[in-house]
Structure formats: structure tokens, C-alpha cells
């Protein structure tokens, strides 16, 4: 009896430890779920509300914290993305006096807890801690245990560079005749049509990844095998702020200098757009606001070039009257070399078309030497690429309702000039 009594003491202590550690493991899983939910919620909200490629701490919507900061209690109306994360942690049950939820956040650096992933445009880390009272093992003097969990979410460059956003169109991305597209980055097609992505005739398509909501209809098997039946993607540039809004003050109206005058243009508001005609236009760096008239070239005698330029194509009222919308129409045999800015809000953005513009067809030509280095962002538009467009560009991204290739096109994905990689960012959970 004495031996049995003495043996029961360590036996009960071991059973107590097993029970208490089992309960702490359950709390640990709950804490990890809360941390992951908080990190993802904060980053998704940030991604949907803060636009632009260059982020700076303490500017609108960008909250940074170099050291862990404790979430406020009982948040019901979050005022920023990190408070959204705090609220999600609270919704998972972490909001009492023996619990703590903290966050860290930074811009243009590697998360301290996930250094192997490299530089992120923006990152957030949430930590969830709970002091757990011990039950059986308390008789051994261990009255409480500490449970901690951590999760980090980041904004990082997307792997895709072609986005066709129309939800139902057949041939939302199409390559016909003798056209070919060789892309160094992936293709995302939102259409649920059975022929959402297609080739016909001798059309050729090559990309490292195909993500298609609907189906694929090609005259030969694509490699790698397309991912069909994927979930639709939302507009990846929906939060990009517009550079100007009306009514506009016209810096230039119906700009049309004499032929062969070879003008150099400055940034500003061009009411009536820019029509190159039989001329050579050289554009200084900056934002070109095209209010009505769009951008057009005429023939092989039309030449346009600019480094560090961004075009916002819009329409509406101005101090010179009202100007109707017009599309981008760059002739197939014109000479074109246009490169987006490398810094600022519009780093990596070359063409930005008014999201409220009517449905239309935009034409991007320029022959075998054409360079479109940057993002062509054209909601509600069918974008047609002619010739060897962008073969010599470091990177080209297209976001439109539909995309049609006419000729040979090569798209690269070298984002080394940009501070945060691709201007299209995606949310990723890295720990």
C-alpha cells in the first residue's frame, strides 16, 4: 500500500502534464488560426484600399510599426488595415485580460521573422499570446503556461502578367492566324466560357502558367497543362488611384504641331488627346492626362518615344468644353518606344485608362522594334497587339477585358528597375 501510494504521486503528475499540455496544444492551434486570420485580413484590406507601387510609412493607409504594438480592445469600427487584423483576432476569441494580440508592419523590407522570402512591398506580422491556467499539474507548482502563435502576410509581385477580366467572353485571350505569343510570365483568364483561352489557324502560345476560369480551346496541347476551373480573380489594379479628375484645366488643346517639326512634349493635360501624325514626338518624363481624343499615330511616318511616362486616358468637362472619350490607336507600322516610370505612385504603369470609359478596342502597334515597357491597364477594352510589340521591353503587363494577338509578341518579366518588383501585387501568407 505504501509503495502504491508513493507510485500514484508521479503517475498523477504525468497524467496532469499530459492533460494540461493537450489543452495547451488546443489553445495553440486556436491562437495560430487567429494569428493567420488577422495577418490575412489586414493584408487583404490593405491590398484592396491602398494603391500605387511606391509605399511610404505613415502616408494615407500605410501604417508601420517596427516593434510589436498591442491591439486595442473591442474594436468594432477599424480605422486602418491593422485594426482590421486585430478585429479578426478578436472574432476568433482573443480579446480577454489574459490574452494579448500584437502586430508589426513595414514597407520595402524583409519581414524579420521570414527573412528568406526577400523584400516585400508591405508586410504584417501578428502575434497571439495567452496565459493558460494549469489544472492537474498545478499540484507540482506549475500554476500556468504560456501559449504563443505568430503569422506573417506580405504583398509580393504576382507571377502572372496577362489578365483578361471579362467574365463570359469566348476567346478572352486569343491568338489567331500566324500570330504567336511567348510570355515569360503567367496568363489569367476570368471568362467562364468553354473557349475562354484559344488559338486558331497557326496561332502559337507559350507561357509558364495558364489559369483559366472556363475552358481552353487550342489546336494543339499547351504545355504546361492549363489550370482550368480556377476561381475568378478581381481587378488586380482596382485600388490604383487616378492621377487627376475633372473638370480639367487644359494645358494643351487639340495638340497638332506642323508635320516634321519633331516637337518635344512636356507632361500636362492634353484636351483632345495627342495625335502624332507625320511627325516625331519625344516625350519628357511625367504624367500625360489625355482628356478626350486618346493617343493615335498615323503611319510609318509616325514616331513616338518617351522614358518615364504614364498616360491616363480619360474624358469629360474642361475649361475648354467637354471632350468625348477616344481609344488608344497606335498604327501597326509606326515606330514606338514608351517606358513607364520606375518610381512614384505609378511605377511600372504605362497606360491607365479611365475605368468608366465605354467598351472599345485599343490598338498597340509599332512593328518589329516596338517597346511597351510597363503596364497597359484598360478595363472594358479589347487590347490588340500588333507586330513584335514589347520584345525589347524589360517587362510588359496587360490588364484588360480581352486580349487579341496579331503578329509575333514576346512579353518579358524583368522587374529589376522597379522598387517592389511587379506593379501587380498579390497577398501571400509566408508563415
149 and 243 in a single domain? The answer is no
Give the pairing of strands 286-291 and 303-307. unpaired
Q: What total of structural domains would you count in the chain? A: 2
139 and 257 in a single domain? The answer is no
C-alpha grid cell, residue 184: 515569360
Asked whether residue 168 is domain-assigned, the answer is no
Surface-to-core class of residue 320, CB atoms within 10 Å of its CB (0-12 exposed, 13-18 middle, 19+ buried):
middle
According to the model, what pLDDT value does residue 329 have?
Answer: 95
pLDDT tens readout for residues 101-116 = 999 999 988 898 887 7
Asked whether residue 418 is domain-assigned, the answer is yes
According to the model, what pLDDT value does residue 178 have?
Answer: 75
Asked whether residue 301 is domain-assigned, the answer is yes
305 and 414 in a single domain? The answer is yes
242 and 131 in a single domain? The answer is no
149 and 241 in a single domain? The answer is no
Residue at which a domain ends, from 140, 157, 174: 157
Give Cβ neighbours of residue 1 (< 8 Å, ≥ 6 apart).
none
According to the model, what pLDDT value does residue 204 have?
Answer: 85
151 and 261 in a single domain? The answer is no
267 and 119 in a single domain? The answer is no
State which residues of the chain have pLDDT below 70. 5-21, 52-53, 134-144, 387-391
Phi, psi of 369, deg, nearest 5: -110, 10
According to the model, what pLDDT value does residue 246 have?
Answer: 87
Cα(163)–Cα(172) distance, integer angstroms: 10
299 and 150 in a single domain? The answer is no
406 and 319 in a single domain? The answer is yes
Residue at which a domain ends, from 118, 141, 157: 157
Asked whether residue 133 is domain-assigned, the answer is yes
Residue at which a domain ends, from 157, 191, 219: 157
Domain that holds residue 141: 2-157
255 and 117 in a single domain? The answer is no
274 and 381 in a single domain? The answer is yes
Cα(216)–Cα(212) distance, integer angstroms: 8
The pTM assigned to this predicted structure is 0.85
Asked whether residue 29 is domain-assigned, the answer is yes
Cβ–Cβ < 8 Å for 420, 108: yes
Asked whether residue 179 is domain-assigned, the answer is no
Asked whether residue 225 is domain-assigned, the answer is no
Asked whether residue 379 is domain-assigned, the answer is yes
Amino acid at each position: 500500500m505504501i509503495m502504491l501510494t508513493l507510485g500514484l504521486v508521479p503517475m498523477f503528475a504525468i497524467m496532469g502534464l499530459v492533460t494540461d499540455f493537450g489543452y495547451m496544444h488546443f489553445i495553440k492551434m486556436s491562437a495560430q488560426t487567429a494569428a493567420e486570420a488577422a495577418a490575412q485580413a489586414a493584408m487583404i484590406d490593405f491590398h484592396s484600399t491602398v494603391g500605387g507601387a511606391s509605399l511610404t510609412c505613415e502616408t494615407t493607409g500605410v501604417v508601420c510599426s517596427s516593434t510589436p504594438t498591442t491591439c486595442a480592445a473591442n474594436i468594432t469600427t477599424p480605422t486602418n488595415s491593422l485594426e482590421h487584423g486585430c478585429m479578426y483576432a478578436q472574432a476568433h476569441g482573443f480579446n480577454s485580460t489574459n490574452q494579448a494580440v500584437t502586430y508589426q508592419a513595414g514597407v520595402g523590407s524583409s519581414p524579420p521573422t521570414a527573412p528568406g522570402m526577400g523584400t516585400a512591398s508591405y508586410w504584417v506580422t501578428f502575434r497571439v499570446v495567452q496565459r493558460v491556467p494549469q489544472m492537474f499539474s498545478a499540484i507540482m507548482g506549475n500554476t500556468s503556461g504560456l501559449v504563443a502563435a505568430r503569422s506573417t502576410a506580405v504583398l509580393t509581385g504576382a507571377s502572372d502578367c496577362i489578365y483578361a477580366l471579362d467574365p463570359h467572353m469566348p476567346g478572352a485571350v486569343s491568338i489567331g492566324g500566324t500570330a504567336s505569343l511567348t510570355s515569360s510570365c503567367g496568363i489569367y483568364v476570368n471568362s467562364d466560357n468553354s473557349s475562354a483561352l484559344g488559338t486558331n489557324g497557326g496561332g502559337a502560345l507559350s507561357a509558364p502558367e495558364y489559369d483559366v476560369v472556363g475552358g481552353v480551346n487550342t489546336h494543339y496541347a499547351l504545355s504546361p497543362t492549363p489550370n482550368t476551373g480556377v476561381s475568378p480573380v478581381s481587378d488586380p489594379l482596382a485600388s490604383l488611384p487616378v492621377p487627376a479628375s475633372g473638370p480639367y484645366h487644359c494645358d494643351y488643346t487639340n495638340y497638332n504641331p506642323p508635320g516634321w517639326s519633331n516637337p518635344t512634349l512636356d507632361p500636362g493635360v492634353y484636351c483632345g488627346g495627342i495625335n502624332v501624325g507625320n511627325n516625331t514626338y519625344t516625350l519628357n518624363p511625367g504624367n500625360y492626362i489625355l482628356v478626350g481624343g486618346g493617343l493615335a499615330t498615323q503611319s510609318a511616318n509616325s514616331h513616338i518615344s518617351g522614358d518615364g511616362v504614364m498616360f491616363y486616358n480619360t474624358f469629360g468637362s474642361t475649361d475648354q468644353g467637354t471632350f468625348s472619350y477616344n481609344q488608344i490607336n497606335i498604327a501597326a507600322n509606326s515606330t514606338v518606344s514608351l517606358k513607364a516610370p520606375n518610381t512614384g505612385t505609378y511605377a511600372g504603369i504605362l497606360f491607365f485608362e479611365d475605368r468608366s470609359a465605354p467598351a472599345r478596342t485599343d490598338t498597340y502597334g509599332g512593328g518589329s522594334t516596338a517597346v511597351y515597357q510597363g503596364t497597359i491597364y484598360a478595363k472594358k477594352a479589347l487590347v490588340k497587339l500588333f507586330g513584335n510589340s514589347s520584345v525589347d521591353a524589360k517587362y510588359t503587363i496587360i490588364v484588360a477585358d480581352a486580349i487579341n494577338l496579331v503578329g509575333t509578341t514576346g512579353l518579358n518579366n524583368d522587374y529589376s528597375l522597379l522598387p517592389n518588383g511587379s506593379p501587380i501585387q498579390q497577398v501571400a501568407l509566408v508563415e
